[in-house]
């Protein structure tokens, strides 16, 4: 299923110094979380339009696996995409969650650094009036099998990752379709990548946006909040995953 560009305003998020943004001020590291009133702020809630994200937990210590339930009295969901953000917004991973047959869903984040973070899920409700929905909540994530190195944040257009130069050009336009262009080079020569994923979150307001892949390395999304965003890029080249983080301001 192809999702439309998703943008959802979420509540205040203090970078570096803030604890987990859910009901508990002091997150326990048991892998459990309380799906509270808003999960991750005022805009990105754990329930909406008859759907509720609940019972989020690490799955019995299995590396990088998270189980959760999506409660609904409406039609079954055919496919559900999930994201995990670390609390410091330096780590991002996307996974297609799969139903477990007991009412629960499971998503695997093999590169999760573990610890406090945020789980975001997006899906097509199947209702033309409701459309796509985005729900979220805090999560104390399990550590994945391949613990990643800490990502650096680039204020410019280029970040060097694992011998590659990852370039992200283009501007973020407030409440307007924005186009970013991604390219990867090695030793000055352009390198073709197998797949890529781009998403962004506002540092000040927490507004979340996913960017849809287009032609010629372009990605389109709509930031819904002014201010600076962390833009996270995951690129796969020859089975190697490159992870780059950029910082951009949305204006308009």
Residue 83 β-bridge partners = 94, 120
pLDDT digits (tens, 9 = 90+) for 4-17: 333 332 222 222 22
Residue 231 pLDDT class (50, 70, 90 cuts): very high
Cα separation, 200 vs 206, in Å, equals 9
pLDDT digits (tens, 9 = 90+) for 193-222: 999 989 888 887 667 788 989 999 999 998
The most distant pair of C-alpha atoms in the chain lies apart, rounded to whole Å, by 55
Question: Distance of CA 132 to CAs 6, 60, 89, 169, 215, Å?
Answer: 8, 31, 24, 28, 23
0.75 surpassed by pTM: no
């Amino acid at each position: 299923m192809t999702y439309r560009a998703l943008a959802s305003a979420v509540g205040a998020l203090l970078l570096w110094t803030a604890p987990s943004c859910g009901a508990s001020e002091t997150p326990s590291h048991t892998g459990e979380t309380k799906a509270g009133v808003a999960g991750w702020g005022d805009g990105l809630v754990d329930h909406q339009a008859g759907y509720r994200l609940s019972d989020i937990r690490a799955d019995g210590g299995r590396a990088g696996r998270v189980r959760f339930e999506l409660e609904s009295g409406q039609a079954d969901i055919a496919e559900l995409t999930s994201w995990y953000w670390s609390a410091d917004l330096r780590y991002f991973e996307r996974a297609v969650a799969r139903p477990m047959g007991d009412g629960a869903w499971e998503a695997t984040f093999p590169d999760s650094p573990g610890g406090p973070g945020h789980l975001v899920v997006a899906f097509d409700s199947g209702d033309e009036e409701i459309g796509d929905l985005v729900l979220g909540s805090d999560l104390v994530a399990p550590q994945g099998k391949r613990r990643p190195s800490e990502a650096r944040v680039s204020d410019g257009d280029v970040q060097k990752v694992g011998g590659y130069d990852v370039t992200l050009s283009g501007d973020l336009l407030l409440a307007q379709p924005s186009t970013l262009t991604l390219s990867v080079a090695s030793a000055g020569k352009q390198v073709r990548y197998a797949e890529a994923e781009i998403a962004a979150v506002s540092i000040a307001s927490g507004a979340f946006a996913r960017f849809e892949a287009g032609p010629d390395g372009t990605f389109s999304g709509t930031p819904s909040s002014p201010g600076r965003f962390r833009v996270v890029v995951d690129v796969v080249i020859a089975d190697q995953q490159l992870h780059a983080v950029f910082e951009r301001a949305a204006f308009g």
